[in-house]
Structure 1
Amino acid sequence: MRPYRNVDDRIDGVVITFIDITDRKRFEENLRASEERFRVLVDTSAQIIWTTDAEGAAVEDSPSWRSYTGQTYEQLKGWGWAQAIEPGDRDQAQATWRQAVETVAPLHNEFRLYHAPSREYRWTEVRAGALCAADGTIRGWVGMMSDTNEQKLAEQALKDINETLEARVQERTQQVRDLASRLTMAEQEERRRVSQVLHDDLQQLLYGLQMRLRMAQDKLKTQDNGDLQELLAGTQAWVVQAIETTRQVTVDLSPPILKREGLVDALGWLKRQMKQLHGLDVEVSALQPPDILDEDMRVLLFQVVRELLFNVKKHANVDQARVELDQTNAQVVIRVSDSGDGFDLAVMEAQQDEHPGFGLFSIRERLRLLGGHMEIDAAPGTGTSILVTVPLKREAEKETSQAASQ
């Protein structure tokens, strides 16, 4: 409203102007309502809600922060809020916050915050985002924190349980492997014992019987006892055959070279045996000759290769096979292959219960107990290739394992 004057500067009337400010009033009322809702939300929320300026410094009071941490507004403003964080987490929390402010990236972090009611530091999860003006400039930050202490403790307890279970599983696995190793050695010791009995007792008795038969034959040569001499000659032949059989069984049960020499030399002996006794030509090659200090592992691998070669002779319908040896820093690798008939692995697995003994699947299980494994590549008409791998076990590890089991 303003007065209207004439040329003589006298007031002749008044001009009144009306401006519609309904939208502005409505906007102000909505803004006040929004601010009130935010204030109520902050005051009643179970979360800790806070705001900072564009540089990340606290400039406004936060009742929920004060209620949780016990800090006063004077203590929390600026960067004073960091004093409520557990000292061991403080540097990380501040560095993460500064990086978020500098990069204008949403913040997500976890740290331990002092909880005044319980007088302890509790795990909290914090999330924050930037408030942007219409022109894109940062006006400030709003953050929310949640008490996740119970969840964190539950997660840690579950982690501890899992670690304990894993440790127990590893311990039991090692115990099973040690047991398998001891069983292998016990089997080998029993083989040696039987071999020794055959050599020292049975063979000596057979030699004595052979000598007595020769003496009887010599005495009967001067007499006309043709039928009796023929009977003695036949008995003598049987004794010779029995001696040869016990000698061969003695060697098969416990090859002397296996104890004296390494695995490569033992397989060289096995190669000669397979050719002499079974007519199977075996090619043995060693890219990196395995250095196996453990006798039980050496015995097991020898038995595995021998059984696989027996399988070639019995089932592959060929007279040639190949054995390849190698060693890496962590394991011994052996491949036994042939170009024979092959077989259907699925059918073999389905019938394994019908063929008990030290066969393919028995080999695989024994290797698995010792930390090794076996891969079978076979198909009808395409030959068979079996890869055996076992972890190296040094002498120091063996002594440690034996000490732990005592």
Structure 2
Amino acid sequence: MKKRKSSLPDQDYRYLFENASDAIWVQDLDGRILYANRAAERLTGYDQDELLDQDVGKFLPDAHSHDIAREVRRRLLAGEDFHQPYEQRIVRRDGSLAIWRMASSLVITEGEVTGFQHIARDVTAERQLQDNMRFYVQEVLRAQEDERKRVARELHDEVSPSLLLLIQRIDAISSNSRLKLSEVMKQKMEDLRVQTVEALESTRRIAQDLRPRILDDLGLIAALEWMADNLIKKHGIEAKVIIVGREQALSSEVQLLLFRIAQEALNNVRKHSDASQVEITVTFGEEKTVVSIADNGKGFSVPLRISDLAAGGKLGLAGMQERAQLIGGHVDLKSDPGHGAVVTVEVPNQGNRCEMPTPSQELERRLRS
């Protein structure tokens, strides 16, 4: 163990400190390293002797990393709670970048704050694997949406007109007195017409479910209102869309994400909730856009994690979270038996406005990731 001034106070702690598999270092209030263990040497590429007296700022590669460090320091000194561990980008001695998962705490000596202790683990490979998985999932979802759009377009542009033409020909045959159709044949033609009309309606419904043209043509709000109207007309569920704040232009990717999550939530309302009312609220804020779907149905018990819903067969609800995380958003689900359910999805606006997040926002984003 390498130290700069006084020795660490406890022999047992000193042994644990030096032999821990995670990097541990202590810094003073000015950011100078006082103690560092061997794992810190391995993670940074610097010898322990070289780490002593170093300013921790030299290991931070960019402005956002400095902002995160300042925000963590501010919260610790202010006594504010925040979720730990959090992630931080670090530059090694050889210039390569690493991602560390860190936990930080105050060092208090004789009742006074004298510095900070940090514990870190290199999760670079893990994060790269997660990023690769997100990329592949995103590509699969994009391919699925492209295929949905293609099939919906073909159903709308080719199959539906063909069925409509068939109905017209059936009508022409049935109304042609020169053919002198028997009553039996007229009934068969009428039955054929009914079946063809049903096929046309089913084709249009499937095309709309696959990819509503209203979403591409008129945007998210119009598509949500269309779904609410369908709930009223087809299922007798009183549904309405509420807009809070000034409507903002969202990217097509975000609109599609919010639509798909709302679609899944409303399908659950229709199939499982026994609800008579549902409200779809879209809130446009400065930092984020929020869509919530609240019903007055029978509700259910929510597991601790949304991902646990997959084990119970609720793959659609679990898939909402996966979709939201792809663009930095998250989904919250609240429900109790007998008290309805509320599904809320939040997505950040900075990706649409090309704005840089504040240090606090960036820390929260990394804490969630």
| TM-score, reference length from structure 1 | 0.55
**Which residue pairs with 1:81 in the alignment?**
none
State the partner residue of 2:231: 274
The aligned counterpart of 1:89 is none
Could you tell me whether the CA contact under 8 Å between 2:295 and 2:341 is conserved in 1?
Answer: yes
Cα deviation for residue 305 of structure 1 reads 0.8
Distance 1:356 1:274 in 2: 21
- 2:98 matches 1:165: yes
Rounded to whole Å, the distance in 1 between the matches of 2:256 and 2:296 is 27
Of 365, 368, 389, 2:346 maps to 389
Instruction: Return the letter of the residue paired with 2:345.
Output: V
Q: Does 1:303 align with 2:260?
A: yes
Alignment match, 1:101: none
How far does the alpha carbon of each residue in 1:33-64 deviate from its partner, in whole angstroms, 9 at most, with x for none? xxxxxxxxxxxxxx99xxxxxxxxxxxxxxxx
Partners of 1:382 and 1:291 lie apart in 2 by 32
**Residue 291 (str. 1) matches residue 191 (str. 2):** no
Q: Which position in structure 2 is the counterpart of 1:217?
A: 174
Matched to 2:313, the amino acid is H
Matched to 1:311, the amino acid is: N
SS at match of 1:165: strand
Q: Considering only CA atoms, is the larger Rg found in Structure 1 or Structure 2?
A: 1
Alpha-carbon distance, 1:248 to partner: 2.0
User: Tell me, what secondary structure is at the counterpart of 2:283?
Assistant: strand
In structure 1, what is the Cα distance between the partners aligned to 2:34 and 2:146?
63
Q: In 1, distance between residues paired with 2:210 and 2:320?
A: 18
Structure 2: give runs of 5+ residues left out of the alignment.
6-27, 36-46, 61-89, 101-123, 356-369
> Where do 5+ consecutive residues of structure 1 fail to align?
1-46, 49-106, 112-122, 126-146, 398-406
**Code of the aligned partner of 1:282:** A
Answer whether contact 2:155 2:203 (CA < 8 A) is retained.
Answer: yes
Q: 1:180 to 1:292 in 2, by over 3 A?
A: farther
Cα distance 1:149–1:110, how it changes in 2: closer, same or farther (>3 A)? farther
Does the alignment pair 1:369 with 2:326?
A: yes
Q: In structure 1, what residue type is equivalent to 2:352?
A: R
| Deviation string, structure 1 residues 138-197 (Cα, Å, up to 9, x no partner) | xxxxxxxxx973443999889634982229577776665555555444333222211111
In the alignment, the residues of structure 2 paired with residue 110 and residue 225 of structure 1 have an alpha-carbon distance, to the nearest angstrom, of 97
Q: Once the two structures are aligned, what percentage of the paired residues are identical? A: 25
Structure 1 pair 296/187, CA: closer, same or farther in 2 (3 Å)? farther
Checking the alignment, whether the CA contact within 8 Å between 1:124 and 1:148 is kept in structure 2 is no
TM-score, structure 2 normalization: 0.60
Q: Deviations over 1:104-152 (max 9, x none)?
A: xxx99999xxxxxxxxxxx999xxxxxxxxxxxxxxxxxxxxx973443
> Residue 269 of structure 2 aligns with which residue?
312
Q: 2: distance between equivalents of 1:324 and 1:310?
A: 16
Task: Provide the aligned length of Structure 1 versus Structure 2.
Answer: 260
Inter-CA distance 370–175: structure 2 relative to 1 (3 Å threshold): farther
Report the CA distance shift for 1:166/1:327 in structure 2 as closer, same or farther (over 3 A).
farther
Alignment partner of 1:328 is 2:285? yes
State the shift of 1:215 in Å: 3.0
Report the residue type matching 1:303 in the other structure: R
